[in-house]
Amino acid sequence: MLGAELSPGRPTYTPENLLNRCKPGDLVEFVCQAQYPHWVVYVGDFQVVHLHRLEVVNSFLTDASQGRRGRIANQLYRYKPLSPAVVVRNALEQVGCKDRDLSWRNSECFAAWCRYGNIEAGSAPQESGLVAGSVAQVLHSSTPSLRWEAVQDGRQGGWGVCFIPSFITEQFFL
């Protein structure tokens, strides 16, 4: 929901201040009134990996923030995270993926996939009608390298679709 991302009780910090707080593998949510949040994975050395304009890119945290305030958002999900080294590896291995190679609909979906494997897929902006979360059912998409899955939102109890690489679904769910 637009505007709700600056909720009281969840402090936000300037990008420069976040650099002192982030550890490799952390999820960071950048927020601003009247805009959807943007999510990144902190990989260390002031760098983040994130889904930006249909491409997974490696950027400086301060550049990725685009002037927005942010917060470490590791506690939003109820699932056990992967180790920080695996989270960072997941993110870095996707750098350069773009357009049709993408398996995620938005930056939160990508960041959550990096941190939780495919347990938590992240939520999408409301106008797309997509929400995400724990796997409920695996379905086949028209693209052989991808599968889509019906998912239940780990935070809100909604249902939606999120795309994940087929090697993940085959390894964990089939």
- The CATH number given to whatever domain includes residue 41 is 3.90.1720.10
pTM for the predicted model, two decimal places: 0.68
- Segment 101-128 shows an average pLDDT of 72
Mean of per-residue pLDDT scores for the chain: 73
* Residue 21 identity: R
Higher pLDDT, 145 or 26: 26
Q: Reduce the DSSP state of residue 43 to 3 states and report it.
A: strand
CA distance 173 to 164: 12
Number of domains in the chain: 1
Full residue range of the structural domain in which residue 129 is found: 4-172
CA distance 18 to 117: 24
